[in-house]
Structure 1
Amino acid sequence: MNTTITIAVTVNGEGRQLDGGSTVLDLVAMTTGRELGPDGRPADGGRLGVAVALNSEVVPRARWAATPLAAGDAVELVTAMQGG
């Protein structure tokens, strides 16, 4: 029997189901649709323009891969926008 464990988290106010063991890095990669290196930088060398808060605490990009998500976590993904 192959059972996948999932966890329920809130991302930008909306409920999401993620695989158990997911990290902040995994969530950012899934949300942006971009491949990220272990340092949180895009594999294509471009800019990402994303900041992350986990349970109201900012998570530095260098810690994304080492920050696991748990059931009930509240994540805010903020993207940089340009405009005038």
Structure 2
Amino acid sequence: MRLLYRERHQLPVSGSESFIGKPAEAVFDFKTEGEVWFEGERWKAVSLVPVNRGDQLRVIGRRGLILEVESWDQQA
């Protein structure tokens, strides 16, 4: 019974859902579209607010090969 409960309540370990809430870092300044480092790889990213090079970001979604990010300081 405990094993079943634990498996049903674990966070996703694969797929887009596993990206949510993880940190990324801006490669350069961008206003709405740019690139970030995420888990050792360079990804295209979009943000609703301007981002500066080196900003720490949080992944809030994914559309295909594009990450949706927000400032790490913003509420999740």
Bigger RCO (CA 8 Å, 6+ sep): 1
The verdict on a shared fold, with TM-score over 0.5 as the criterion, is: no
Q: Normalising to structure 1: TM-score of the pair?
A: 0.25
